[in-house]
């Protein structure tokens, strides 16, 4: 186990960070199985009015480490455990962490655009970003890796399909955040596969998109009357 921890230190560190945040949620709300929505908002969940009107943009990042209950946490951490370890075999620690955070940010922005008055939390946008990045990597090297790449991509397509199906069938699952993370991750994976040192191009693009989203959000809120209460 120690060697496994050392080999996949980024994945285990991310899992540990999510567990730490959940421990804080338990201490703050005195709830273990299901965390009250108000407590999540106070701890940094995405909530449109506070993000847009209050200027609390940092919620787009902190929300990625908050979970609404034990089931939510375990499902996401199991997915991160499964997908994160292969990610460390093909991506540098810097690129892995950058993709995780940036795709999670895009997932948060897409979520708040689609659901401006809903409280949003969870690591799934970033996890789907990692899914997308690995898929992009294997697609880029599909000829070099041959049958191994085809089988790998087939397995990942099944996993992603099942997660999307669960997202559409279970209430309160934000499919828009999954889609935002997945698509942005796919782009990142394609870039890093052929140009490992050019992730900065993706990062700059994501930040420009994020700024554009953030500037557009007040207009969206006025158009939908979300904040007229």
Q: Which of 108, 124, 176, 184 is catalytic?
A: 124
Cα 126-107-173 angle, rounded to 5 deg: 90
Q: Which of 67, 98, 108, 178 is catalytic?
A: 178
**Count of residues making up the chain:** 229
Distances (CA, A) of 115 to 33, 39, 118, 119: 25, 19, 5, 8
Q: Where are the alpha helices (DSSP H) in the chain?
A: 2-7, 9-29, 37-43, 48-52, 59-62, 70-90, 93-114, 124-140, 142-145, 147-169, 175-194, 199-224
Active-site residue, 178 included: yes
- Residue positions annotated with a catalytic role: 124, 178
């Amino acid at each position: 186990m120690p060697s496994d921890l050392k080999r996949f230190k980024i994945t285990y560190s991310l899992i540990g960070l999510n567990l730490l945040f959940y421990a804080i949620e338990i201490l703050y709300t005195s709830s273990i199985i299901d965390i009250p929505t108000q407590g999540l908002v106070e701890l940094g969940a995405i909530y449109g009015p506070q993000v847009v009107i209050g200027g609390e943009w940092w919620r787009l990042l902190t929300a990625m480490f908050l979970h609404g209950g034990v089931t939510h946490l375990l499902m996401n951490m199991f997915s991160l455990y499964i997908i994160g370890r292969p990610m460390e075999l093909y991506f540098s620690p810097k690129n892995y962490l950058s993709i995780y955070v940036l795709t999670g940010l895009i997932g948060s922005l897409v979520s708040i655009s689609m659901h401006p008055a809903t409280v949003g939390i969870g690591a799934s946008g970033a996890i789907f970003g990692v899914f997308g990045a690995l898929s992009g990597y294997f697609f880029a090297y599909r000829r070099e890796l041959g049958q191994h790449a085809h089988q790998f991509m087939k397995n990942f397509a099944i996993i992603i399909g099942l997660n999307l199906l669960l997202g559409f069938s279970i209430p309160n699952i934000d499919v828009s955040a999954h889609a935002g993370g997945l698509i942005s991750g796919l782009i990142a994976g394609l870039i890093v596969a052929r140009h490992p040192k050019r992730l900065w191009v993706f990062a700059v693009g994501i930040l420009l998109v994020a700024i554009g989203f953030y500037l557009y959000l007040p207009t969206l809120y006025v158009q939908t009357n979300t904040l007229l209460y």
